[in-house]
Amino acid sequence: MAVLTYIQAVNQALKEEMERDNKVFILGGEDVGKKGGVFLATEGLFDRFGEQRVIDTPLAESAIVGGVGVGAAMYGMRPVPEMQFADFIMPAVNQIISEAAKIRYRSNNDWNCPITIRAPYGGGVHGALYHSQSIEAVFANQPGLKVVMPSSPYDVKGLLKAAIR
């Protein structure tokens, strides 16, 4: 069995799901494409899948999640928006809780929102005040949302693939 780091497992899961389903695409704040993301979780994916499926965006979390992510998911795509850090997800809370989480209920099961939001969090990155908060409780008790917090490379690869599917 190959030994992978956590980030390598994220990268493999994303690559495998993008190869499996051409509706899967990644988007996020200015660096998930050519630079491979803050932690290099998307490294090499831009070169492999192109700018149509690995999309660098402005740092506008409400647009990344709500305007593009939720809209694309409702259209039948499988968006994987990445927040640079979980702390930055707050501008997108309304779109996540009021739109993505509730669309199945609000539409009487006519619509769903298969979106997988990735957001690194916690103190391990030594990011200080605005890069280390653990805000998962904001989402954990919302009907219509599933929050996972994998702790190992094995867990992150399996849970990320399952979430995207």
Give the CATH number for residue 117: 3.40.50.970
Please report the pLDDT score of residue 128 as a whole number.
Answer: 72
* Domain assignment of residue 73, yes or no: yes
Q: Does 123 have pLDDT greater than 80?
A: no
- What does residue 57 show for φ and ψ, rounded to 5 degrees? -125, 165
Q: Are 147 and 118 in contact (CB under 8 A)?
A: no
Give a yes or no: residue 34 inside a domain.
yes
Query: In this structure, is residue 66 part of a structural domain?
Result: yes
17, part of any domain: yes
pLDDT reported for residue 105: 95
For the chain, what percent of residues have pLDDT higher than 90? Answer: 78
Total domain count, the chain:
1
CA dihedral 8, 23, 86, 2 (to 10 degrees): -10
Identify whether 143 is part of a domain: yes
User: Which contiguous run of DSSP H or E holds residue 13?
Assistant: helix 6-20
Of residues 21 and 135, more confidently modeled: 21
Q: Is 103 domain-assigned?
A: yes
Average pLDDT over residues 73-80: 97
In which domain, by residue range, is 40 found? 6-164
Structure tokens at 104: 């199945």
**Catalytic choice (72, 131, 153, 164):** 131
List b or e across 126-140, with b for residues whose CB sees 16 or more CB atoms inside 10 angstroms.
ebeeebbbeeeebbe
For residue 18, pLDDT over 90 is answered with yes
pLDDT in tens, 28-63: 977 899 999 988 999 999 999 999 999 999 989 999
Decide if 137 contacts 89 (C-beta within 8 A). no
Backbone Cα Rg of the chain: 15
Residue 125 has pLDDT above 70, yes or no: no
- Torsion angle (degrees, nearest 10) of CA 17, 118, 111, 75: -60
| Residue 146 included in any domain | yes
Residue 1, in any domain of the structure: no
Is 126 catalytic? The answer is: no
